[in-house]
Each structure stands twice: as structure tokens, then as C-alpha cells.
């Protein structure tokens, strides 16, 4: 007869991030007919697989038992419940999302706090279900929502004190429909635009423009890219960077130029 397992032996209190790569199935389909797209798919998967190695030991950030797992088009990151753990987890998520954006890959996700089991092979628990619920039923756009507990923990004096340790520290914003989300583009807002950063910013802008132009025939896709465009342009105008043009406005402009 199997002995009962205590809940505390299975779960611990952790913050968890669930990320979904949007449009992944389209990338897979394109890879079937294009060697370039196939290479892009491999690069994407390797980038996702290396998320844990890339962000698990950042030189300028402390961590608190950071763990990462990827499967297909999903990424799960988690860390112990502590100010250091939350700060490192959100900073890592922010940097990962920004790096994917440069490659034209858009992430949607949820961040939750609660009971979680996260080993090298498996990850599950109530916190995981809540993060997945935020991503799959509420997020809607390419944004990363945080639950109430995470939001409150981001206001703690200990968390706020850590913001002075790095230039592009994780921040939250309230969206037009209510929920707080991770301000991934604060990387653009808060750093000096060196030539290298300007190149990365241009890559992001071009990726959004290309995806927006291609989405006009698919209203569901266009809605997501429209949100991302408005978000990008609000930051770009603050920094004097190039904005993304809406296809309708660009077309009208081209027509006007042709008449002159």
C-alpha cells in the first residue's frame, strides 16, 4: 500500500511565468517549404530551449532558485517567493520577450504566485494553472499579465529597493481594459540609445511593421498586432524612435504622394 505524500513535500511557494509563442504553427508550416524558414524555426526553438541557461545566471542580478522549462511553443519559468526571486524572474521574462521580439516572435503570458512543483522534468500546480489561465483566457494580446498577488508584491519596499540595481528594471503598467502587465518595452524607454541599442530597437520596429502589414487580412491577428503597435508607438514617441505605421494610413499617404 502506497504511503500518502504530504502536500508540502510536493509543492513550494513560487512565482511562475507561463509564456506562449504566438503564431508558432504558422512558422512550422512555412518551414516545410522554405529552407530559410526552417533555419529560423531551429533558431527560435534553440533560443527558447536556452532561456534557462541565458537568464539563470545573469551577472548583474541575483536569483533565488531560478528554473526554466520549454516544450513546443511554450516556456515556463519559476523562482522562489522572495523580492530577489520576483525581481530576477520578471527581469528575465522581460529580456526574453524583448529578445524574441527582435526576431519577430511575439509572446503572450501570465505570471502567478502560489503552490508549484518544478523539477528538471515536470512542472505543475495551482500557480501554473493560474498563470496559464491568465495567458489563455484574459491576456488576449501579446502581453504578459500578472495576478493580484504578484502585483502587490511588486509594490513592496524590498522589491522597489532592487530597482536601483539595474538600468532597465522590470516595471508594470495598467492596460486600457484593466489588468496590469509587464512593461517589456521599458527596456527601450529606460536605456540610452547607443548604436547597438538603436539597432535592436530598429529590429523590433521592423518586426512589428512586417507582422502588422501581413495581418490586415486576418482580423483576429490584426487585433493583436494593432495593440502591440499602439504600445510600441507610445514608447517610440517618448524616445524619438521610429514608429510603426498603420497600413491604412501608409496607403493613404502613398496615394496622396502619387497625386502630387
pLDDT reading at 87 higher than 60: yes
Residues in CB range of 232: below 8 A, 6 or more apart? 185, 204, 205, 208, 243, 244
pLDDT reading at 257 higher than 60: no
Q: Which three cell numbers stand for residue 10?
A: 510536493
- Which pLDDT score is estimated for 62? 83
pTM: 0.86
Number of H helices, E strands in the chain: 12, 8
Q: What is the pLDDT of residues 3-41, one digit of tens each?
A: 455 566 789 999 999 999 887 777 777 777 777 767 766
- Which pLDDT score is estimated for 256? 45
- Which pLDDT score is estimated for 69? 86
Q: What is the pLDDT of residues 101-126, one digit of tens each?
A: 988 889 999 999 999 999 988 999 99
Q: What is the pLDDT of residues 156-204, one digit of tens each?
A: 999 999 988 777 789 999 999 999 999 999 988 877 666 777 888 999 9
- Which pLDDT score is estimated for 6? 57
Output 178 or 255, whichever has higher pLDDT: 178
Q: Which three cell numbers stand for residue 91?
A: 527581469
- As its CATH architecture, domain 8-188 has 2-Layer Sandwich (3.30)
Q: What is the mean pLDDT of the chain?
A: 85
Cα 217 to Cα 12, 79, 221, 238: the distances in Å are 46, 40, 8, 30
Domain boundaries, the chain: 8-188, 192-260
**What is the average pLDDT across 44-70?**
69
User: What gap in Å lies between CA 55 and CA 70, rounded to an integer?
Assistant: 14
- Which pLDDT score is estimated for 252? 43
User: What gap in Å lies between CA 117 and CA 124, rounded to an integer?
Assistant: 5
Amino acid at each position: 500500500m502506497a504511503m500518502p505524500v504530504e502536500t508540502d513535500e510536493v509543492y513550494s511557494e513560487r512565482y511562475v511565468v507561463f509564456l506562449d509563442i504566438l503564431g508558432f504553427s504558422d512558422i512550422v508550416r512555412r518551414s516545410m517549404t522554405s529552407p530559410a524558414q526552417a533555419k529560423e524555426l531551429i533558431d527560435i526553438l534553440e533560443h527558447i530551449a536556452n532561456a534557462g541557461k541565458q537568464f539563470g545566471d545573469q551577472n548583474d542580478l541575483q536569483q533565488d532558485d531560478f528554473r526554466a522549462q520549454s516544450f513546443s511553443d511554450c516556456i515556463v519559468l519559476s523562482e522562489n517567493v522572495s523580492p530577489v526571486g520576483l525581481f530576477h524572474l520578471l527581469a528575465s521574462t522581460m529580456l526574453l520577450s524583448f529578445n524574441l521580439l527582435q526576431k519577430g516572435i511575439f509572446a503572450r503570458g501570465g505570471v502567478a504566485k502560489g503552490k508549484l512543483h518544478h523539477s528538471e522534468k515536470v512542472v505543475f500546480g495551482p500557480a501554473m494553472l493560474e498563470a496559464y489561465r491568465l495567458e489563455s483566457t484574459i491576456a488576449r494580446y501579446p502581453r504578459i499579465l500578472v495576478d493580484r498577488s504578484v502585483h502587490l508584491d511588486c509594490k513592496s519596499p524590498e522589491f522597489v529597493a532592487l530597482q536601483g540595481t539595474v538600468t532597465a528594471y522590470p516595471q508594470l503598467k495598467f492596460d486600457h481594459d484593466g489588468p496590469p502587465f509587464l512593461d517589456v518595452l521599458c527596456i527601450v524607454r529606460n536605456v540610452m540609445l547607443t548604436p547597438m541599442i538603436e539597432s535592436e530597437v530598429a529590429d523590433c520596429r521592423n518586426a512589428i511593421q512586417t507582422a502588422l502589414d501581413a495581418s490586415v487580412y486576418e482580423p483576429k491577428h490584426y487585433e493583436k498586432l494593432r495593440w502591440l503597435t499602439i504600445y510600441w508607438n507610445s514608447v517610440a514617441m517618448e524616445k524619438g524612435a521610429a514608429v510603426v505605421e498603420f497600413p491604412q494610413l501608409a496607403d493613404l499617404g502613398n496615394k496622396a504622394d502619387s497625386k502630387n
